[in-house]
Chain A
């Protein structure tokens, strides 16, 4: 479809100076993405799935500067977990700061190195799930990333990974504009945990494509950095095979603008996919979870659990969909989105959708929004719990359902301590 001239110009300005396609399989995938992108144009507020989030700061040419954030009040995320550390600085992979990427059961290569080879397993994945995830809802920022990202890792689990792989995104520049694209393949029967933490860049555009083959298990836990001014648009595209498991949890505390898209397809029978998130915002904070869960096979289970705690004008957005395709009988789909508004200035905007074309299914969704329960607060106070402690307890209880989606107890504890820390710092 031809785009209006203004849209074409805006796209040309945005991609000017970005990496060109190049050669090899990666070049072909980038060229294909560039063609798709020019047909879509960049997103705007007029698009149905951007009605609650203004994408302008993500699409404009100029990167809005974000002050660096140094802190000593909290250990880095996952510090106590035995893991393989792979470090990016302003979106560029830094082998010097990273651990040696050899890990039993896992192959790790940098996109930069693998892209120039003639053949690679990732050629069947790079841009492929992203392209599939464009229907029925377009996600142009992901296509922009596929067309122009030069950094990222290609991770393939062939057995049970000895320990989690942690992707650490450090930031040294106030105006960095980074695009990172990862491909992860979990082979049949293999198991892998991927952790992610750190702000990434002043403006971070990320895509992670995950293919979980039959009987594979994939766990993903991410902590988006505490930098108050950073902006991020992340995309998770996953295909879940028969009897496979996919689980993803995201903690977002602070950040000026965060848009997390998750596009998941349960492609094989008896698959399980859970996505969850906890978001904490105080003041100038806009956080958007947009989830598209497709049931394309029989007897699959999906869960979406999203909780947001908002104060001082923070804005939380949830757009979640369960699509049950014809023939995906015995589907069990569940979705809950809730927000706790700690004061009168904050906002929660939600669009929890169901689209169902099979009759023998069990699908439900719930969405609630309100203030902290005064009766519960009063009860705790009457038992001698000071008001601020009681408030923290109730907030943590509110978030518990999302955190319960993390299988590894040590990782869940790390997340819990971060939530407690955030609440202590943002009292009153």
Chain B
């Protein structure tokens, strides 16, 4: 009868306790696909860089570019300014290239792809069959909603859907390795112009060893007929994933791009160092949404993905517009600052972020808004949620150059703490070099409001549900900025990520 007394005192029924116990530490995508892989030898050297380049059948100029980056990387020191604590990474104890054996000869179409790989994506809810919808999404009235997917498995792109239909609109959507071969003029013109090989330690590493990724080109005046999406899956053990994405949105064009990521549960950490470059020309607009759900490690901080990502959009033309939306729930370590260079006059950058850390996760994430053009506008809405023993840091820069007259920035950073063992931090840098621009920064830190929780509980919700509801309310501004498919997934993720954080 003792258990019953406890229940009465805490006001929590048995069902809730059982549900919480059953759910804590649960990661939906932690299974592994058993598949034969081809690995490059472990470690990093010029030979590995050459090997990756030759596996991708790259032209000479690409190899030279990689080698120059590698030689630079060897001279660089890993940055340590972020509020992250992790054991030193042994860059020689990683595989830099892993490819399913069945991909040795590139399948001509998705029908030829190894069923095991297709099953993997089916299990993840990612449709690789054309005309299919993302799992759980109702077709909107007046027709089906289509999403083209590029699926990246460890180091290679498995396949890209809707290529033919996109080609009709003039849109190029393929893996970057394919683009290097098929569209060298575009790649040469834009690759490394937003994130140069000298940018930072992790970006330089990526330049040397990136194995695949997505390439998007939207021609002038084209509204991309469907949403584009890349789904990254790390499967092989001890394998780093280094993907590179290049998106070019030509004058007056529009594209909405989605990115998702998961990885199996393992008790060793895995490295992920990606680069995303977006070039936006005059009057063009790009929406880039990410739901990052890499394996976060277990409740004691064992395993998980170390996620070091450089993402940047360059609004080169007047009235160009970019919107970054990210929901960061996974990874043991997150080091990520999607940025906007607002070069064109009247260009706009927006950054909406939810970063959730639980257990032993650590996130140091934020954005940079570099205002160079006249009358440029930016908006930052960041919601950090910390639970367990996690540390969550917002780090951002807003820079108004002397030439960026009449520009505006508004920044809102809110942090929510659940429990007394976690931390929430805000490190904004604000640099204003003209007086006609207005910069506003606000940040708050609080805990989940007791009155709101009490109200939800009084309406019959259990504590976990109540917290999830309050947290979803806290994140509302960001969730609303996501495309519909992602908004639902993100909302569910917010609840799952906080499982076990209450009580």
* Bound pair (A, B): yes
By a CB distance below 8 angstroms, the chain B residues around A350 are 428-432, 441
Give every chain B residue within 8 A of A401 (Cβ-Cβ).
Answer: none
Chain-A contact segment, one of B31-39, B221-229, B253-261, B418-426: B418-426
Q: Please, which residue of chain A has its CB at the minimum distance from the CB of B405?
A: A344
Which residues of chain A are within 8 angstroms of B7 by Cβ–Cβ distance? Answer: none
A339 to B430 CA separation, bound complex (whole angstroms): 12
Distance in angstroms from A363 CB to nearest chain B CB is 4
Number of interface residues of A (CB under 8 A): 36
Q: Which among B421, B422, B425 has the greatest number of chain A C-beta atoms within 10 A?
A: B425
A359 contacts B420, C-beta separation under 8 Å: yes
From A329, A339, A351, give the contact of B428 (CB < 8 A): A351
Contacts of A275 in B (CB 8 A): none
A370 touches B446 (CB 8 A): no
Shortest beta-carbon distance, A279 to chain B, in Å? 15
Q: Which of B423, B426, B427, B428 contacts A357 (CB 8 A)?
A: B423
Chain B residues within an 8 Å CB radius of A366: 440-443
Q: Measured between alpha carbons, how far is A217 from B289 in the docked complex, in Å?
A: 53
Contact A371 B430 (CB under 8 A): no
The CA of A326 and the CA of B386, in the complex, are separated in Å by 14
Residue-wise interface mask of A (337-381) relative to B, using a CB-CB cutoff of 8 A (1 in contact, 0 not)? 001011111111111111111111111111111110000000000
Interface centre among A348, A350, A356, A364 (most CB of B within 10 A): A356
Bound Cα distance A365, B446 (Å) = 12
CB pair A369–B427 under 8 Å, yes or no, is no
Contact pattern, B 422-464, Cβ under 8 Å of A = 1, otherwise 0: 1111111111111111111111111100000000000000000
Closest to B409 in A: A369
A369 & B417 in contact (Cβ 8 Å cutoff): no
Nearest-neighbour CB distance to chain A for B454, whole angstroms, equals 15
Q: Does B402 contact A (CB under 8 A)?
A: yes
A27 to B273, CA, bound (A): 53
Given the known inter-chain contacts A339-B432, A362-B446, A368-B438, please indicate yes or no for A356 contacting B423, CB distance below 8 A: yes
Q: A348–B418 Cα gap in the complex (Å)? A: 35
> What is the CA–CA distance of A363 and B447 in the complex, to the nearest angstrom?
10
Neighbour of A342 across the interface among B424, B435, B437, B447, CB < 8 A: B435
| Residues B444 and A364 in contact, CB atoms below 8 Å apart | yes
Considering the chains assembled together, what is the distance between the CA atoms of A105 and B436 in angstroms? 52
Contacts of A346 in B (CB 8 A): 435
Interface pair A363/B440, CB less than 8 Å apart: no
Query: Contact between A344 and B436 (Cβ–Cβ < 8 Å)?
Result: yes
Interface pair A349/B420, CB less than 8 Å apart: no
Which residues of the other chain, B, contact A341 by a CB distance below 8 angstroms?
432, 434-435
A370-B435, A370-B439, A371-B436 known; A356-B445 Cβ under 8 A: yes
Is there an interface contact between B431 and A349, defined as CB atoms closer than 8 Å?
A: yes
Given contacts A353-B425, A354-B426, A367-B441, contact A347 B433 (CB under 8 A): yes
Task: Tell me which of B402, B422, B429, B436 has the highest count of chain A C-beta atoms within 10 A of its own C-beta.
Answer: B429
Asked whether B81 is an interface residue with its Cβ less than 8 Å from the other chain, the reply is yes
The interface residues of chain A lying within 8 Å CB-to-CB of B439 are 367-370
Interface of A is mostly: strand
Asked whether, in the complex, the Cβ of A329 is within 8 Å of the Cβ of B445, the reply is no
Q: How far in angstroms is the closest Cβ of chain B from A236? A: 23
Contact at A363–B427, with CB atoms within 8 Å?
no
Q: Is the CB of B419 within 8 A of A359?
A: yes
Q: Report the bound CA distance from A326 to B445 in whole Å.
A: 14
Contacting pair B435 A356 (CB below 8 A): no
Give the number of chain B interface residues (Cβ < 8 Å): 36
Chain A minimum-CB-distance residue to B393: A355
Out of A329, A339, A359, A362, name the residue touching B418 (CB < 8 Å): A359
Q: Take A368-B438, A369-B439, A371-B436 as given contacts and tell me if A356 and B430 are in contact as well, using a CB distance cutoff of 8 Å.
A: no
- B290 at the binding interface (Cβ < 8 Å): no
Residues of chain B with a CB closer than 8 A to A329's CB: 420
CA distance A365 to B424 in the complex (A): 14
When chains A and B are docked, how far (Å) is the Cα of A370 from the Cα of B438? 5
Given A342-B435, A364-B442, verify A356-B417 contact (CB < 8 Å).
yes
Tell me which residues across on chain B come within 8 A of A70, comparing CB atoms. Answer: none
Report A39-57 CB contacts with B as 1/0, cut-off 8 Å: 0000000001000000000
B437 vs chain A, min Cβ distance (A): 7
Interface members, chain B 357-404 (any A CB < 8 Å): 402
Instruction: Among A327, A349, A359, A365, point to the contact of B417 (Cβ < 8 A).
Output: A359
Who on chain B is nearest to A331 by CB? B445
**Is A326 in contact with B420, judged by CB distance below 8 angstroms?**
yes
Q: How far is the CB of A129 from chain B (nearest CB, A)?
A: 25
A345 and B402 alpha carbons, distance in the complex (Å): 8
* CB closest chain-A residue, reference B435: A341
Residues A358 and B435 in contact, CB atoms below 8 Å apart: no
Docked pose: A371 CA to B437 CA in angstroms: 8
Q: Please measure, in the bound complex, the distance between the C-alpha atom of A365 and the C-alpha atom of B444, giving whole angstroms.
A: 7
Are the CB atoms of B441 and A352 closer together than 8 Å?
A: yes
Q: Tell me, yes or no, whether B211 is within 8 Å of chain A by CB.
A: no
Name the residue of chain A whose CB is nearest to the CB of B446: A362
Q: Are B423 and A355 in contact (CB under 8 A)?
A: yes
Bound together, the chains give a CA A304 to CA B311 distance in angstroms of 34
Chain B residues whose CB sits within 8 angstroms of the CB of A371 once the complex forms: 435-436, 438
B329 on the A face (CB < 8 A) = no
Taking the complex as formed, is B415 at the interface, i.e. its CB lies under 8 A from any CB of chain A? yes
In the complex, the answer to whether A368 meets B427 with C-beta atoms within 8 Å is no
Given contacts A341-B435, A348-B430, A351-B430, contact A360 B441 (CB under 8 A): no
Q: Enumerate chain B residues within 8 angstroms of A349, measured Cβ to Cβ.
A: 429-432
Contact partners of B447 in chain A: CB under 8 A: 359-361
Chain B: minimal CB distance from A300 (Å): 15
B96 to chain A, nearest CB (A): 32
How many Å lie between the Cα of A226 and that of B472 in the bound state? 53
Within 8 A of B (CB), among A194-223: none
Chain B neighbourhood of A355, CB < 8 A = 83, 423, 425-426
B269 to chain A, nearest CB (A): 24
Given A326-B420, A371-B435, does the pair A351, B446 have CB atoms closer than 8 Å?
Answer: no
- The interface residues of chain B lying within 8 Å CB-to-CB of A345 are 402
User: Does the CB pair A344–B430 fall under 8 Å?
Assistant: no
Tell me the smallest distance from the CB of A370 to a CB of chain B, in Å.
4
A window 361-407: CB within 8 A of B: 361-371
A26 to B288, CA, bound (A): 62
Q: Evaluate whether A353 and B427 lie within 8 angstroms (CB atoms) in the complex, with A344-B405, A361-B447, A362-B446 already known.
A: yes
Interface contact B432-A347, CB-CB below 8 Å:
yes
Q: Which residues of B contact A362 (CB under 8 A)?
A: 445-446
Q: Which of B335-365 contact A (CB under 8 A)?
A: none
Q: In A8-44, which residues have CB < 8 Å from any B CB?
A: none
A356-B444 contact given A343-B435, A349-B431, A349-B432, CB 8 Å threshold: no
Interface residues of B in 68-126 (CB under 8 A from A): 81, 83
Given A354-B425, A359-B422: A364 touches B432 (CB 8 Å cut-off): no
Which of chain A's residues has its CB closest to B433's CB? A347
Which residue of chain B lies nearest to A52 when distances are taken between CB atoms in the complex?
B431
A365 and B428 CA atoms in complex are apart in Å by 11
Query: Which residue on A lies nearest to B391, using beta carbons?
Result: A357
Residue of B whose beta carbon sits closest to that of A359: B417
The CA-CA distance from A344 to B440 in the complex, in Å, is 18
CA distance A351 to B426 in the complex (A): 10
Q: Is the CB of B432 within 8 A of A356?
A: no
Bound Cα distance from A370 to B430, whole angstroms: 12
A364 to B441, CA, bound (A): 10
Chain A nearest CB from B51 CB (Å) reads: 38
Residue of B402, B432, B447 with most chain A CB atoms under a 10 A cut-off: B432
- Chain A hits for B426, CB < 8 A: 352-355, 365
Q: Give the interface of B toward A (CB within 8 A).
A: 81, 83, 402, 405, 415, 417-447
Would you mind naming 9 contact pairs between A and B with Cβ atoms under 8 Å apart?
A344-B436, A348-B432, A350-B431, A350-B432, A356-B445, A358-B417, A360-B420, A366-B440, A367-B430
User: What 14 new A-B contacts, CB under 8 Å, besides A344-B435, A349-B429?
Assistant: A339-B432, A347-B431, A348-B430, A349-B430, A351-B430, A354-B425, A359-B420, A359-B422, A360-B447, A361-B445, A362-B445, A369-B432, A369-B437, A370-B435
The 7 A-B residue pairs with the shortest CB-CB distance, nearest first, are A341-B435, A359-B417, A370-B438, A354-B426, A350-B430, A367-B441, A369-B432
